[in-house]
Chain A
């Protein structure tokens, strides 16, 4: 069981290689309750790899990755985590689901034991929080890029998680949509106080979010301005 007092994210001495190329070596990183941390760096620096290690999608070659004190690979309490991974465009282009169906199904772990009516209320509330009320019956594939990312944020927030992991969530969005998206993240953090791990190569939202910045380069995490984590 996850330790209720453990930090949401703790990486110690983590190394990872992709097809023989070392991406991370001996990386240490911790994220406490309520902290907002942005991982920045060049393409291929390993930012998304860190996010994928955190949610247990990838296993480290060495070192430990703990999610709420539990090995991320064996972590099961997904109600504690909201995750917006990068999404291939073809996943959406012909997917025949309504917005409401997607948010409802995303309560797979967090909505366990709830009645359909209760899940529905939570879905509507989550859509309202991201300004997408009234879009429930719309097909996911009919949304604009900005609207889709707001719906995906609603999917991640609907279970009221204690950790939100966002992997390049504003990729491909115009300036206005990016600002709206990050404002919603900022609001959600202010209201609920969850820890946020943001992977981005876009530096513009960092001030808006008031987050601590960790630059990933050379397989390591380096402190940047305001960073309280990123132990190297």
Chain B
């Protein structure tokens, strides 16, 4: 398997995204914005379709649409502070609508479909470079801003009172989420990226005894299930994006089962 260059590249990309997506997912889930991944991935699909219709690089279209969607979410969230989940629902509805309409004008339907479920096995060297760059940026933000992300995940009022510039930090965070979703939609698929953002975090929340452990366990689960998914899909001839998510769900079920058995044994 590792004799194939495309598999080496897939594994590199898979490991990077397996670390980064759940890492940003920790803050997304704890800020009760789990649907943000869905909203931005649907928005990215609209960008892909728009790019294809306009004849520009669809990944550039996805990045642009995701950034616009993320900034809209933040702007609406500030307008309706008491109902922040409304912002995500509005952007998701707009993204789905635009993707649906624009997909009717896409000249190459099969290429568009590859963005829905991803094609990690066909990632080009240029795309690999962009994924490495955006993963490094996201990791840097999570490392440098871990205290801001921690406090904002707990409670924004507590964070603000502690001195966190919450407005700036929120915008920076959603921009990074948008970039991660945009590049991941090409590889693992727009319809799957939000699952990678949530399921490993759900596993980590069952096991961790601290915020730091939550971040580490979520990323480890992300890497483990991505690598397992790639290996299984390679030998079983399955689609990798879906296999990766099913691996994560299976691991989550195992964790639930293990905890249940442990509590019965006590």
- Residues in A lying within 8 Å of B, measured CB to CB: 55, 57, 76, 78-79, 81-83, 85, 87-88, 90-91, 94-98, 101-102, 105-110, 137, 139, 152, 155-156
Contact B161 A78, beta carbon cutoff 8 Å: yes
B255 CB–A CB distance under 8 Å: no
**Binding stretch for chain A, among B8-16, B187-195, B205-213, B223-231:** B205-213
CB pair B210 A97 closer than 8 Å:
yes
The 8 Å CB contact of A87, one of B32, B158, B160, B205, is B158
Find out whether the CB atom of A106 lies under 8 angstroms from the CB atom of B151.
Answer: yes
B67 in the interface (beta carbon within 8 A):
no
Q: Is the CB of B162 within 8 A of A139?
A: no
Q: How far, in angstroms, from A57 to B208 measured CA to CA in the complex?
A: 33
| A108 CA to B158 CA, complexed, in Å | 11
Is A85's CB under 8 angstroms from B157's CB? yes
Interface string of B142-175 (1 = CB under 8 A from A): 0000011011011101111111100000000000
Q: Which residue of A lies closest to B81 (CB)?
A: A57
Say yes or no: is B141 at the interface (Cβ < 8 Å to chain A).
no
If A94-B205, A96-B214 touch, whether A105 touches B161 (CB-CB below 8 Å) is: no
| A96 and B158 form a contact (CB under 8 A) | no
Verify B210–A85 contact, CB threshold 8 A.
no
Partner of B157, one of A57, A76, A94, A98: A57
Inter-subunit contact B208/A96 (CB<8 Å): yes
Q: Is B204 an interface residue (CB 8 A)?
A: yes
Contact of A91 among B150, B154, B204 (CB under 8 A): B154
List B contacts of A78 (CB < 8 A): 161-163
- Min CB distance, B156 to chain A, in Å? 9
**How long is the Cα–Cα vector from A88 to B148 in the complex, in angstroms?**
19
- Kindly list chain B residues whose C-beta atoms are within 8 Å of the C-beta of A76: 163
Residues in chain A near residue B155, CB distance under 8 A: 85, 87-88, 91
What's the count of A-B pairs with C-beta under 8 Å? 77
Q: Which 10 A-B pairs have the closest CB atoms?
A: A109-B163, A78-B163, A83-B161, A108-B162, A85-B157, A97-B211, A96-B214, A98-B210, A91-B155, A108-B163
Q: Judging by beta carbons under 8 Å apart, are A105 and B150 in contact?
A: yes
B148 to chain A, nearest CB (A): 8
> Which residue of B164, B204, B209 contacts A98 across the interface (Cβ within 8 Å)?
B209
Contact A137 B164 (CB under 8 A): no
Query: How distant is A83 from chain B, measured CB to nearest CB, in Å?
Result: 4
Q: Which of chain B's residues have a CB closer than 8 A to the CB of A105?
A: 147, 150-151, 154, 162
Tell yes or no: B30 within 8 A of A by CB.
yes
B150 CB, min distance to chain A CBs, angstroms: 5
Whether B160 lies near A101 (C-beta < 8 A) is no
B212 x A101 contact (CB < 8 A): yes
Assess the B30–A155 pair: CB atoms within 8 A.
no
- Please measure, in the bound complex, the distance between the C-alpha atom of A55 and the C-alpha atom of B160, giving whole angstroms: 9
Q: Could you list 22 A-B pairs, sorted by A, with CB under 8 Å?
A: A55-B160, A57-B160, A82-B161, A83-B157, A85-B158, A91-B155, A96-B208, A96-B211, A96-B214, A97-B150, A97-B210, A101-B150, A101-B212, A105-B150, A105-B154, A106-B162, A108-B147, A108-B148, A109-B162, A110-B163, A137-B210, A152-B158
| A88, B154: Cα distance in complex, Å | 10
Please indicate the chain B residues that have their CB under 8 angstroms from the CB of A85 in the complex: 155, 157-158, 161
